[in-house]
Amino acid sequence: MRKIAIFLLSLVVPAAVAQADPRLNQGPKPGAAGDSVMVSTQLPIVTEAALDVLRNGGNAVDAMITSVFLQHVVDYHQVSHFGTMSAIYFEAETGRYHVISGVGQRPLASRCGKGDPSAVSVGGVVRALAALADRWGTLDWADYLAPAIAAAEEGVEVSSFMYGINYHSLQTGQENSLIGNAAARDFYMPDGFLVPVGERWKMPALAEHLQALAEQGADYMYTGAWAEKFVEAARSGGHCVAPEDLAEYQVQWQEPVRFRYGEHTLVGSAPPDTGGAFVGLSLNMLEHFDLAERDHYSESAETLEIMARVFGRASDETRLAINDPLAMQVPIDVWTDPVYGEMAANLVRQTLRQPGVRLAAPDSKTGEAPESMGSDHNVIVDADGNWFSLLHTGHGGAPGVFIDGVAASGSTARAFTEGPGRRLVLPITAVMVERDGAPWLAMGSPGMPPQPVTQVLVNILDWGMDPIDAAAAPRFWAWRNNQARIDIESRISDEVRAGIRQSGLVLNDLGPYFWSTGSMQIVWRDAATGRLHGATDPRRLGWAEGY
Protein backbone atom coordinates (compact mmCIF):
# COMPACT_ATOMS: atom_id res chain seq x y z
CA MET A 1 0.00 0.00 0.00
CA ARG A 2 2.87 2.37 0.77
CA LYS A 3 4.26 1.98 -2.78
CA ILE A 4 0.88 2.82 -4.25
CA ALA A 5 0.60 5.90 -2.02
CA ILE A 6 4.05 7.12 -3.07
CA PHE A 7 3.14 6.64 -6.75
CA LEU A 8 -0.10 8.52 -6.37
CA LEU A 9 1.56 11.38 -4.56
CA SER A 10 3.99 11.68 -7.46
CA LEU A 11 1.01 12.75 -9.60
CA VAL A 12 0.23 15.72 -7.37
CA VAL A 13 0.44 19.00 -9.29
CA PRO A 14 3.20 21.20 -7.77
CA ALA A 15 1.82 24.31 -6.12
CA ALA A 16 3.85 26.90 -8.02
CA VAL A 17 5.52 25.16 -10.95
CA ALA A 18 4.93 26.77 -14.34
CA GLN A 19 3.86 24.28 -16.97
CA ALA A 20 5.58 24.48 -20.36
CA ASP A 21 2.46 23.47 -22.26
CA PRO A 22 -0.90 23.35 -20.46
CA ARG A 23 -2.27 21.07 -23.20
CA LEU A 24 0.13 18.27 -22.27
CA ASN A 25 0.56 18.63 -18.52
CA GLN A 26 -1.28 18.87 -15.28
CA GLY A 27 -1.58 22.45 -14.12
CA PRO A 28 -3.67 25.59 -14.74
CA LYS A 29 -5.72 25.58 -17.95
CA PRO A 30 -7.13 28.62 -19.72
CA GLY A 31 -10.85 29.15 -19.99
CA ALA A 32 -12.60 29.12 -23.35
CA ALA A 33 -15.36 31.19 -24.91
CA GLY A 34 -17.47 30.87 -28.04
CA ASP A 35 -20.63 32.18 -29.66
CA SER A 36 -22.07 28.89 -30.94
CA VAL A 37 -20.55 25.73 -29.46
CA MET A 38 -18.43 24.64 -26.50
CA VAL A 39 -16.60 21.39 -25.72
CA SER A 40 -14.84 20.37 -22.51
CA THR A 41 -13.25 16.92 -22.44
CA GLN A 42 -10.39 15.08 -20.79
CA LEU A 43 -7.81 15.57 -23.57
CA PRO A 44 -7.07 18.30 -26.16
CA ILE A 45 -7.08 15.78 -29.04
CA VAL A 46 -10.58 14.68 -28.02
CA THR A 47 -11.87 18.24 -27.75
CA GLU A 48 -10.45 18.99 -31.20
CA ALA A 49 -12.10 15.89 -32.70
CA ALA A 50 -15.47 16.92 -31.25
CA LEU A 51 -15.08 20.43 -32.63
CA ASP A 52 -14.26 19.01 -36.08
CA VAL A 53 -17.53 17.07 -36.02
CA LEU A 54 -19.47 20.20 -35.06
CA ARG A 55 -17.76 22.35 -37.68
CA ASN A 56 -18.67 19.79 -40.34
CA GLY A 57 -22.37 19.94 -39.51
CA GLY A 58 -22.69 17.28 -36.83
CA ASN A 59 -24.62 17.82 -33.62
CA ALA A 60 -23.75 17.32 -29.94
CA VAL A 61 -24.65 13.62 -30.10
CA ASP A 62 -22.42 13.06 -33.12
CA ALA A 63 -19.55 14.88 -31.41
CA MET A 64 -20.00 12.97 -28.16
CA ILE A 65 -20.09 9.51 -29.79
CA THR A 66 -16.93 10.34 -31.74
CA SER A 67 -15.26 11.61 -28.56
CA VAL A 68 -16.03 8.51 -26.52
CA PHE A 69 -14.73 6.11 -29.17
CA LEU A 70 -11.57 8.20 -29.53
CA GLN A 71 -11.06 8.20 -25.75
CA HIS A 72 -11.16 4.40 -25.80
CA VAL A 73 -7.81 4.75 -27.60
CA VAL A 74 -6.12 7.97 -26.49
CA ASP A 75 -7.29 7.72 -22.87
CA TYR A 76 -6.95 3.93 -22.75
CA HIS A 77 -5.61 4.04 -19.19
CA GLN A 78 -8.79 5.71 -17.88
CA VAL A 79 -11.69 3.93 -19.60
CA SER A 80 -12.82 0.64 -21.14
CA HIS A 81 -14.27 -0.07 -24.56
CA PHE A 82 -16.44 -2.72 -22.87
CA GLY A 83 -17.31 -0.51 -19.93
CA THR A 84 -20.05 1.64 -18.47
CA MET A 85 -21.63 4.89 -19.62
CA SER A 86 -24.26 7.23 -18.21
CA ALA A 87 -25.33 10.66 -19.42
CA ILE A 88 -27.82 13.52 -19.37
CA TYR A 89 -28.87 14.95 -22.73
CA PHE A 90 -30.94 18.12 -23.11
CA GLU A 91 -32.86 18.09 -26.38
CA ALA A 92 -33.40 21.70 -27.41
CA GLU A 93 -36.19 20.96 -29.88
CA THR A 94 -38.46 19.45 -27.22
CA GLY A 95 -37.03 21.06 -24.09
CA ARG A 96 -36.68 17.61 -22.51
CA TYR A 97 -33.89 16.09 -20.46
CA HIS A 98 -33.05 12.45 -21.16
CA VAL A 99 -30.93 10.13 -19.05
CA ILE A 100 -29.35 7.31 -21.02
CA SER A 101 -27.96 4.49 -18.91
CA GLY A 102 -25.44 2.20 -20.51
CA VAL A 103 -24.30 0.97 -17.11
CA GLY A 104 -22.76 -2.49 -16.93
CA GLN A 105 -24.93 -5.21 -15.45
CA ARG A 106 -24.37 -8.59 -13.86
CA PRO A 107 -25.14 -11.82 -15.74
CA LEU A 108 -28.28 -13.66 -14.64
CA ALA A 109 -26.78 -16.12 -12.17
CA SER A 110 -29.51 -18.72 -12.49
CA ARG A 111 -28.96 -19.47 -16.17
CA CYS A 112 -25.24 -19.95 -16.61
CA GLY A 113 -24.59 -22.94 -14.39
CA LYS A 114 -21.28 -23.11 -12.61
CA GLY A 115 -19.16 -20.05 -12.15
CA ASP A 116 -19.11 -16.84 -10.17
CA PRO A 117 -21.06 -13.81 -11.54
CA SER A 118 -20.05 -11.45 -8.72
CA ALA A 119 -17.25 -9.70 -10.64
CA VAL A 120 -18.66 -10.05 -14.19
CA SER A 121 -20.31 -7.09 -15.88
CA VAL A 122 -21.82 -6.87 -19.35
CA GLY A 123 -20.47 -3.50 -20.45
CA GLY A 124 -23.07 -1.21 -21.99
CA VAL A 125 -21.09 1.68 -23.45
CA VAL A 126 -21.10 0.52 -27.09
CA ARG A 127 -24.80 -0.40 -26.97
CA ALA A 128 -25.53 3.05 -25.52
CA LEU A 129 -23.53 4.85 -28.20
CA ALA A 130 -25.42 2.88 -30.86
CA ALA A 131 -28.74 3.82 -29.24
CA LEU A 132 -27.75 7.49 -29.27
CA ALA A 133 -26.71 7.25 -32.92
CA ASP A 134 -30.04 5.64 -33.84
CA ARG A 135 -32.09 8.28 -32.01
CA TRP A 136 -30.28 11.56 -32.73
CA GLY A 137 -27.16 10.86 -34.77
CA THR A 138 -26.67 12.23 -38.28
CA LEU A 139 -23.45 10.42 -39.29
CA ASP A 140 -22.82 6.94 -40.60
CA TRP A 141 -21.77 4.49 -37.88
CA ALA A 142 -18.30 4.00 -39.37
CA ASP A 143 -17.69 7.76 -39.29
CA TYR A 144 -17.90 7.76 -35.50
CA LEU A 145 -15.10 5.22 -35.28
CA ALA A 146 -12.77 6.64 -37.93
CA PRO A 147 -10.75 8.94 -35.59
CA ALA A 148 -10.36 6.15 -33.05
CA ILE A 149 -9.14 3.70 -35.69
CA ALA A 150 -6.64 6.22 -37.02
CA ALA A 151 -5.34 6.94 -33.51
CA ALA A 152 -4.88 3.24 -32.75
CA GLU A 153 -3.02 2.70 -36.05
CA GLU A 154 -0.82 5.79 -35.81
CA GLY A 155 -0.18 5.43 -32.11
CA VAL A 156 -0.99 7.48 -29.04
CA GLU A 157 1.65 9.87 -27.71
CA VAL A 158 2.36 8.67 -24.18
CA SER A 159 2.16 11.40 -21.55
CA SER A 160 3.76 11.15 -18.14
CA PHE A 161 0.24 10.90 -16.73
CA MET A 162 -0.62 7.91 -18.93
CA TYR A 163 2.70 6.22 -18.26
CA GLY A 164 2.32 6.59 -14.51
CA ILE A 165 -1.15 5.04 -14.47
CA ASN A 166 -0.11 2.20 -16.79
CA TYR A 167 2.85 1.47 -14.53
CA HIS A 168 0.65 1.47 -11.47
CA SER A 169 -1.95 -0.77 -13.12
CA LEU A 170 0.42 -3.40 -14.46
CA GLN A 171 3.65 -3.38 -12.48
CA THR A 172 1.80 -3.45 -9.17
CA GLY A 173 -0.81 -5.92 -10.43
CA GLN A 174 -3.76 -3.65 -9.75
CA GLU A 175 -5.63 -4.03 -13.05
CA ASN A 176 -7.43 -7.23 -12.07
CA SER A 177 -4.32 -9.28 -12.75
CA LEU A 178 -4.07 -8.39 -16.45
CA ILE A 179 -0.33 -8.72 -16.01
CA GLY A 180 -0.93 -12.48 -16.07
CA ASN A 181 -2.58 -12.29 -19.49
CA ALA A 182 -0.05 -12.76 -22.31
CA ALA A 183 -2.12 -10.76 -24.83
CA ALA A 184 -2.38 -7.88 -22.37
CA ARG A 185 1.36 -7.93 -21.71
CA ASP A 186 2.08 -7.78 -25.43
CA PHE A 187 -0.40 -4.92 -25.84
CA TYR A 188 0.88 -2.79 -22.96
CA MET A 189 4.56 -3.74 -23.35
CA PRO A 190 5.18 -4.47 -27.05
CA ASP A 191 8.97 -4.53 -26.58
CA GLY A 192 8.92 -5.98 -23.10
CA PHE A 193 8.54 -2.57 -21.49
CA LEU A 194 5.83 0.05 -21.24
CA VAL A 195 6.03 2.52 -24.14
CA PRO A 196 8.14 5.46 -22.85
CA VAL A 197 6.87 8.97 -22.30
CA GLY A 198 6.89 10.97 -25.54
CA GLU A 199 6.84 7.89 -27.79
CA ARG A 200 3.85 6.65 -29.76
CA TRP A 201 2.00 3.64 -28.41
CA LYS A 202 0.60 1.81 -31.42
CA MET A 203 -2.39 -0.47 -30.85
CA PRO A 204 -2.83 -2.71 -33.93
CA ALA A 205 -5.05 -5.24 -32.15
CA LEU A 206 -7.42 -2.52 -30.99
CA ALA A 207 -7.40 -0.90 -34.44
CA GLU A 208 -8.44 -4.20 -36.00
CA HIS A 209 -11.19 -4.63 -33.42
CA LEU A 210 -12.52 -1.11 -33.99
CA GLN A 211 -12.52 -1.70 -37.74
CA ALA A 212 -14.66 -4.82 -37.25
CA LEU A 213 -17.00 -2.82 -35.00
CA ALA A 214 -17.24 -0.10 -37.65
CA GLU A 215 -18.16 -2.65 -40.31
CA GLN A 216 -20.49 -4.90 -38.30
CA GLY A 217 -22.08 -2.47 -35.85
CA ALA A 218 -22.60 -2.72 -32.10
CA ASP A 219 -23.88 -6.30 -32.36
CA TYR A 220 -20.29 -7.39 -33.03
CA MET A 221 -19.68 -7.05 -29.29
CA TYR A 222 -22.99 -8.51 -28.10
CA THR A 223 -23.93 -11.29 -30.50
CA GLY A 224 -20.97 -11.42 -32.90
CA ALA A 225 -17.48 -12.85 -32.88
CA TRP A 226 -16.16 -10.66 -30.06
CA ALA A 227 -19.08 -11.65 -27.81
CA GLU A 228 -18.34 -15.34 -28.41
CA LYS A 229 -14.68 -14.82 -27.50
CA PHE A 230 -15.65 -12.96 -24.33
CA VAL A 231 -18.03 -15.65 -23.08
CA GLU A 232 -15.43 -18.34 -23.73
CA ALA A 233 -12.65 -16.39 -21.98
CA ALA A 234 -14.80 -15.50 -18.98
CA ARG A 235 -16.04 -19.06 -18.51
CA SER A 236 -12.57 -20.51 -18.86
CA GLY A 237 -11.56 -18.26 -15.98
CA GLY A 238 -14.31 -19.69 -13.78
CA HIS A 239 -16.73 -16.80 -14.19
CA CYS A 240 -20.47 -16.95 -14.79
CA VAL A 241 -21.81 -15.47 -18.03
CA ALA A 242 -24.04 -16.76 -20.83
CA PRO A 243 -24.38 -15.60 -24.46
CA GLU A 244 -27.91 -14.48 -23.61
CA ASP A 245 -26.54 -12.01 -21.07
CA LEU A 246 -24.78 -10.10 -23.82
CA ALA A 247 -27.50 -10.53 -26.45
CA GLU A 248 -30.26 -9.30 -24.13
CA TYR A 249 -28.43 -6.27 -22.74
CA GLN A 250 -30.69 -3.22 -23.05
CA VAL A 251 -29.94 0.46 -22.68
CA GLN A 252 -32.29 2.19 -20.23
CA TRP A 253 -33.88 5.58 -20.93
CA GLN A 254 -34.79 7.36 -17.70
CA GLU A 255 -35.88 10.68 -16.26
CA PRO A 256 -33.19 12.60 -14.35
CA VAL A 257 -33.25 13.35 -10.64
CA ARG A 258 -34.69 16.86 -10.18
CA PHE A 259 -34.21 19.08 -7.15
CA ARG A 260 -34.07 22.70 -6.04
CA TYR A 261 -31.28 24.60 -4.34
CA GLY A 262 -32.26 28.12 -3.43
CA GLU A 263 -33.44 29.75 -6.63
CA HIS A 264 -31.81 27.10 -8.80
CA THR A 265 -33.31 24.03 -10.43
CA LEU A 266 -30.88 21.16 -10.98
CA VAL A 267 -31.10 17.87 -12.84
CA GLY A 268 -28.75 14.99 -12.11
CA SER A 269 -27.87 11.40 -12.87
CA ALA A 270 -30.59 8.85 -12.10
CA PRO A 271 -30.18 5.60 -10.11
CA PRO A 272 -28.38 3.26 -10.17
CA ASP A 273 -25.96 6.21 -10.47
CA THR A 274 -25.48 7.55 -6.97
CA GLY A 275 -24.45 11.08 -7.94
CA GLY A 276 -27.81 12.75 -8.58
CA ALA A 277 -29.28 11.50 -5.31
CA PHE A 278 -26.15 12.36 -3.32
CA VAL A 279 -25.89 15.90 -4.69
CA GLY A 280 -29.64 16.44 -4.22
CA LEU A 281 -29.63 15.24 -0.60
CA SER A 282 -26.43 17.14 0.26
CA LEU A 283 -27.69 20.42 -1.18
CA ASN A 284 -31.07 19.86 0.49
CA MET A 285 -29.24 19.86 3.84
CA LEU A 286 -26.70 22.58 3.00
CA GLU A 287 -29.47 24.99 2.05
CA HIS A 288 -30.25 25.29 5.77
CA PHE A 289 -26.72 26.45 6.66
CA ASP A 290 -26.65 29.63 4.50
CA LEU A 291 -23.23 28.95 3.03
CA ALA A 292 -23.23 32.26 1.15
CA GLU A 293 -23.15 34.06 4.50
CA ARG A 294 -20.21 32.01 5.76
CA ASP A 295 -16.53 32.06 4.93
CA HIS A 296 -15.40 29.55 2.31
CA TYR A 297 -14.67 26.03 3.55
CA SER A 298 -10.97 26.46 2.70
CA GLU A 299 -10.87 29.47 5.04
CA SER A 300 -13.20 28.38 7.83
CA ALA A 301 -12.97 25.26 9.98
CA GLU A 302 -16.62 25.68 10.93
CA THR A 303 -17.80 25.71 7.30
CA LEU A 304 -15.53 22.79 6.41
CA GLU A 305 -16.83 20.74 9.34
CA ILE A 306 -20.46 21.46 8.44
CA MET A 307 -19.92 20.38 4.85
CA ALA A 308 -17.95 17.30 5.90
CA ARG A 309 -20.67 16.20 8.30
CA VAL A 310 -23.36 16.80 5.68
CA PHE A 311 -21.41 14.67 3.22
CA GLY A 312 -20.89 12.02 5.87
CA ARG A 313 -24.61 11.80 6.52
CA ALA A 314 -25.43 11.76 2.79
CA SER A 315 -22.84 9.03 2.22
CA ASP A 316 -24.13 6.86 5.05
CA GLU A 317 -27.75 7.33 4.08
CA THR A 318 -27.41 6.65 0.36
CA ARG A 319 -24.68 3.97 0.43
CA LEU A 320 -26.95 0.91 0.45
CA ALA A 321 -30.28 2.58 -0.33
CA ILE A 322 -29.44 3.27 -3.99
CA ASN A 323 -29.96 0.26 -6.23
CA ASP A 324 -31.11 -0.43 -9.75
CA PRO A 325 -34.68 0.98 -9.77
CA LEU A 326 -35.77 -1.89 -12.03
CA ALA A 327 -35.38 -4.06 -8.94
CA MET A 328 -35.69 -1.80 -5.89
CA GLN A 329 -37.42 1.40 -4.88
CA VAL A 330 -35.11 4.37 -4.31
CA PRO A 331 -36.37 7.21 -2.05
CA ILE A 332 -35.37 10.13 -4.26
CA ASP A 333 -38.53 12.11 -3.44
CA VAL A 334 -37.77 11.80 0.28
CA TRP A 335 -34.15 12.91 -0.04
CA THR A 336 -35.08 15.96 -2.13
CA ASP A 337 -38.08 16.99 -0.01
CA PRO A 338 -37.37 20.39 1.66
CA VAL A 339 -38.96 19.23 4.91
CA TYR A 340 -36.61 16.25 5.03
CA GLY A 341 -33.65 18.51 4.22
CA GLU A 342 -34.44 20.73 7.20
CA MET A 343 -34.78 17.75 9.53
CA ALA A 344 -31.52 16.19 8.29
CA ALA A 345 -29.72 19.53 8.65
CA ASN A 346 -30.88 19.73 12.27
CA LEU A 347 -29.54 16.23 12.86
CA VAL A 348 -26.18 17.34 11.44
CA ARG A 349 -26.15 20.34 13.79
CA GLN A 350 -26.65 17.99 16.71
CA THR A 351 -23.57 15.95 15.78
CA LEU A 352 -21.27 18.95 16.41
CA ARG A 353 -19.13 19.12 19.56
CA GLN A 354 -20.50 20.63 22.72
CA PRO A 355 -20.03 24.42 23.04
CA GLY A 356 -16.68 25.32 24.54
CA VAL A 357 -15.21 21.83 24.20
CA ARG A 358 -11.80 21.60 22.52
CA LEU A 359 -10.81 18.15 21.31
CA ALA A 360 -7.50 16.91 19.96
CA ALA A 361 -7.74 14.66 16.94
CA PRO A 362 -4.59 12.92 15.67
CA ASP A 363 -2.18 15.06 13.70
CA SER A 364 -2.67 15.34 9.96
CA LYS A 365 -1.17 12.45 8.07
CA THR A 366 0.87 12.64 4.89
CA GLY A 367 1.22 9.88 2.32
CA GLU A 368 -2.02 8.02 2.97
CA ALA A 369 -3.55 8.53 -0.42
CA PRO A 370 -7.03 7.54 -1.59
CA GLU A 371 -7.32 4.98 -4.35
CA SER A 372 -6.75 5.99 -7.96
CA MET A 373 -9.77 7.15 -9.91
CA GLY A 374 -10.24 6.51 -13.62
CA SER A 375 -13.00 7.39 -16.14
CA ASP A 376 -13.66 10.34 -18.46
CA HIS A 377 -16.31 13.05 -18.32
CA ASN A 378 -17.22 15.18 -21.34
CA VAL A 379 -19.56 18.16 -21.76
CA ILE A 380 -20.62 19.33 -25.22
CA VAL A 381 -23.04 22.07 -26.31
CA ASP A 382 -23.89 22.54 -29.99
CA ALA A 383 -25.15 25.48 -32.04
CA ASP A 384 -28.77 24.29 -31.80
CA GLY A 385 -28.72 24.47 -28.00
CA ASN A 386 -28.43 20.73 -27.32
CA TRP A 387 -26.46 20.04 -24.11
CA PHE A 388 -24.73 16.75 -23.36
CA SER A 389 -22.95 15.70 -20.13
CA LEU A 390 -21.57 12.16 -20.17
CA LEU A 391 -19.30 9.94 -18.10
CA HIS A 392 -17.82 6.67 -19.35
CA THR A 393 -15.51 4.35 -17.49
CA GLY A 394 -14.53 0.73 -16.92
CA HIS A 395 -16.67 -1.76 -14.96
CA GLY A 396 -17.23 -4.19 -17.80
CA GLY A 397 -15.99 -7.70 -18.54
CA ALA A 398 -14.58 -10.39 -16.23
CA PRO A 399 -11.37 -10.51 -14.15
CA GLY A 400 -8.26 -11.09 -16.23
CA VAL A 401 -10.04 -10.92 -19.61
CA PHE A 402 -8.30 -9.09 -22.47
CA ILE A 403 -9.56 -9.71 -26.02
CA ASP A 404 -8.43 -8.09 -29.28
CA GLY A 405 -6.99 -5.04 -27.57
CA VAL A 406 -10.01 -4.57 -25.32
CA ALA A 407 -9.36 -4.60 -21.57
CA ALA A 408 -12.55 -6.17 -20.22
CA SER A 409 -11.48 -6.98 -16.70
CA GLY A 410 -14.75 -6.91 -14.78
CA SER A 411 -16.08 -5.03 -11.77
CA THR A 412 -16.59 -5.60 -8.07
CA ALA A 413 -19.18 -2.81 -7.79
CA ARG A 414 -22.40 -3.65 -5.95
CA ALA A 415 -25.20 -5.18 -8.06
CA PHE A 416 -27.81 -7.94 -7.95
CA THR A 417 -27.30 -11.16 -9.90
CA GLU A 418 -31.01 -12.09 -10.10
CA GLY A 419 -34.11 -10.18 -11.11
CA PRO A 420 -34.63 -7.57 -13.81
CA GLY A 421 -32.46 -4.82 -12.28
CA ARG A 422 -28.84 -5.98 -12.23
CA ARG A 423 -27.00 -2.76 -13.18
CA LEU A 424 -23.95 -1.74 -11.17
CA VAL A 425 -24.27 0.95 -8.51
CA LEU A 426 -21.61 3.55 -9.38
CA PRO A 427 -20.92 7.16 -8.29
CA ILE A 428 -21.58 8.71 -11.71
CA THR A 429 -22.51 12.40 -11.34
CA ALA A 430 -23.65 14.33 -14.39
CA VAL A 431 -25.37 17.58 -13.37
CA MET A 432 -27.06 20.45 -15.18
CA VAL A 433 -28.33 23.72 -13.68
CA GLU A 434 -31.41 25.17 -15.35
CA ARG A 435 -32.57 28.71 -16.09
CA ASP A 436 -35.74 29.58 -17.98
CA GLY A 437 -36.41 25.97 -18.92
CA ALA A 438 -32.97 25.23 -20.39
CA PRO A 439 -29.50 24.50 -19.00
CA TRP A 440 -27.17 27.39 -18.30
CA LEU A 441 -24.44 25.22 -16.75
CA ALA A 442 -23.46 21.56 -17.18
CA MET A 443 -20.66 19.78 -15.39
CA GLY A 444 -19.24 16.50 -14.20
CA SER A 445 -16.04 14.78 -13.19
CA PRO A 446 -14.42 11.37 -13.51
CA GLY A 447 -13.34 9.39 -10.47
CA MET A 448 -15.46 9.47 -7.30
CA PRO A 449 -17.35 12.66 -8.12
CA PRO A 450 -20.44 13.13 -5.87
CA GLN A 451 -18.63 15.09 -3.14
CA PRO A 452 -16.26 17.08 -5.40
CA VAL A 453 -19.11 17.99 -7.77
CA THR A 454 -21.18 19.26 -4.84
CA GLN A 455 -18.24 21.37 -3.66
CA VAL A 456 -17.76 22.96 -7.06
CA LEU A 457 -21.49 23.64 -7.33
CA VAL A 458 -21.61 25.53 -4.02
CA ASN A 459 -18.44 27.39 -5.00
CA ILE A 460 -20.38 28.68 -8.01
CA LEU A 461 -23.91 28.99 -6.63
CA ASP A 462 -23.18 30.20 -3.08
CA TRP A 463 -19.79 31.89 -3.18
CA GLY A 464 -20.18 33.27 -6.69
CA MET A 465 -16.89 31.91 -8.00
CA ASP A 466 -16.09 31.86 -11.68
CA PRO A 467 -16.30 28.18 -12.69
CA ILE A 468 -12.56 28.14 -13.50
CA ASP A 469 -11.74 29.23 -9.95
CA ALA A 470 -14.46 26.97 -8.53
CA ALA A 471 -12.82 23.95 -10.16
CA ALA A 472 -9.34 24.89 -8.99
CA ALA A 473 -10.31 25.57 -5.36
CA PRO A 474 -9.12 23.05 -2.74
CA ARG A 475 -11.22 19.88 -2.70
CA PHE A 476 -11.84 17.28 -0.07
CA TRP A 477 -13.49 13.97 0.72
CA ALA A 478 -15.26 13.35 4.02
CA TRP A 479 -15.99 10.17 5.95
CA ARG A 480 -13.72 7.98 3.87
CA ASN A 481 -13.55 4.29 4.80
CA ASN A 482 -16.15 4.76 7.56
CA GLN A 483 -13.85 7.14 9.46
CA ALA A 484 -14.70 10.61 10.77
CA ARG A 485 -11.93 11.98 8.60
CA ILE A 486 -11.40 14.68 6.01
CA ASP A 487 -8.99 14.06 3.13
CA ILE A 488 -8.21 17.53 1.80
CA GLU A 489 -5.81 19.29 -0.50
CA SER A 490 -3.29 21.25 1.55
CA ARG A 491 -4.08 24.76 0.30
CA ILE A 492 -5.81 25.65 3.58
CA SER A 493 -4.61 27.76 6.49
CA ASP A 494 -3.07 26.54 9.73
CA GLU A 495 -6.09 28.05 11.47
CA VAL A 496 -8.43 25.76 9.54
CA ARG A 497 -6.23 22.76 10.33
CA ALA A 498 -6.25 23.57 14.02
CA GLY A 499 -10.01 24.13 14.06
CA ILE A 500 -10.71 20.77 12.44
CA ARG A 501 -8.49 18.93 14.92
CA GLN A 502 -10.25 20.67 17.79
CA SER A 503 -13.52 19.31 16.39
CA GLY A 504 -12.23 15.76 16.86
CA LEU A 505 -11.91 15.06 13.12
CA VAL A 506 -8.83 13.51 11.52
CA LEU A 507 -7.38 15.64 8.73
CA ASN A 508 -5.48 13.81 5.99
CA ASP A 509 -3.24 16.00 3.82
CA LEU A 510 -3.37 15.22 0.07
CA GLY A 511 -0.82 17.79 -1.07
CA PRO A 512 -1.59 21.02 -3.00
CA TYR A 513 -3.51 19.40 -5.88
CA PHE A 514 -4.47 15.74 -5.97
CA TRP A 515 -5.55 14.13 -9.24
CA SER A 516 -7.90 11.59 -7.65
CA THR A 517 -10.19 14.36 -6.41
CA GLY A 518 -11.43 14.50 -9.98
CA SER A 519 -11.22 16.63 -13.10
CA MET A 520 -14.16 18.95 -13.59
CA GLN A 521 -15.43 19.59 -17.10
CA ILE A 522 -17.74 22.61 -17.08
CA VAL A 523 -19.68 24.53 -19.75
CA TRP A 524 -21.92 27.50 -19.00
CA ARG A 525 -23.73 30.30 -20.81
CA ASP A 526 -23.20 33.89 -19.70
CA ALA A 527 -26.61 35.36 -18.89
CA ALA A 528 -25.62 38.88 -19.94
CA THR A 529 -23.91 38.16 -23.27
CA GLY A 530 -25.37 34.77 -24.22
CA ARG A 531 -21.86 33.50 -25.00
CA LEU A 532 -20.77 30.00 -24.05
CA HIS A 533 -17.80 29.43 -21.77
CA GLY A 534 -15.83 26.31 -20.91
CA ALA A 535 -13.46 25.26 -18.15
CA THR A 536 -11.40 22.24 -17.30
CA ASP A 537 -9.55 21.15 -14.21
CA PRO A 538 -5.84 21.71 -13.42
CA ARG A 539 -5.54 18.23 -11.89
CA ARG A 540 -5.56 16.25 -15.15
CA LEU A 541 -5.06 16.84 -18.88
CA GLY A 542 -8.46 18.21 -19.91
CA TRP A 543 -9.10 20.96 -22.44
CA ALA A 544 -12.02 23.30 -23.16
CA GLU A 545 -12.51 25.07 -26.48
CA GLY A 546 -15.33 26.51 -28.54
CA TYR A 547 -16.18 28.90 -31.35
Closest by Cα among 342, 292, 281 to 314: 281
Strand segments, DSSP code E, in 238-342 are 252-254, 257-261, 264-268
pLDDT the model gives residue 140: 98
Residue type, 140: D
Q: Which residues contact 86 (CB under 8 A, 6 or more apart)?
A: 99, 100, 101, 102, 103, 269, 273, 390, 391, 426, 428, 430
The reported pLDDT for the residue numbered 373 is: 64
Residue 11's pLDDT is what? Answer: 41
Q: For the chain, which residues make up each domain, given as ranges?
A: 257-371+434-538
User: For residue 78, what are the contacts with CB-CB under 8 A and spacing of at least 6?
Assistant: 42, 71, 165, 374, 375, 376, 393, 446
pLDDT at 21: 72
Burial class (CB in 10 A: 0-12, 13-18, 19+), 495: exposed
Q: Is the peptide bond before 439 cis (omega within 30 degrees of 0)?
A: no
The radius of gyration computed from the CA coordinates of the chain, to the nearest angstrom, equals 22
C-alpha–C-alpha distance, residues 94 and 454, integer Å:
28
- At 140, give phi and psi (nearest 5°): -70, 150
- For residues 245 and 304, give the distance between their C-alpha atoms in angstroms, rounded to a whole number: 46
| pLDDT at residue 19, rounded to an integer | 45
pLDDT score of 4: 34
Q: Smallest Cα–Cα separation from 269: which of 114, 377, 148?
A: 377
> For residue 110, which amino acid is it?
S
Question: What CA–CA distance (Å, rounded) separates 205 from 153?
Answer: 9
Dihedral of alpha carbons 291, 295, 298, 303, sign: negative
Contact between 446 and 373 (Cβ < 8 Å): yes
pTM of the model: 0.94
DSSP 3-state of 491: coil
Hey, which residues does 34 pair with through a beta bridge? 532
Residue 16: what pLDDT? Answer: 41
Contact 75, 46 (CB under 8 A): yes
Quickly name the fold that domain 257-371+434-538 has. Answer: Serum Albumin; Chain A, Domain 1 (1.10.246)
pLDDT at res. 479: 85
> What are the per-10-residue average pLDDT scores of the chain (547 residues)?
34 42 80 97 96 98 98 95 98 98 97 86 98 98 98 95 83 59 90 92 98 98 98 94 97 97 96 98 98 97 97 95 97 98 97 88 59 84 98 95 94 96 97 95 95 98 97 92 86 93 90 90 96 95 95
Q: Specify the pLDDT at position 204.
A: 97
Residue 161 sits at φ, ψ, to 5 deg, of -65, -50
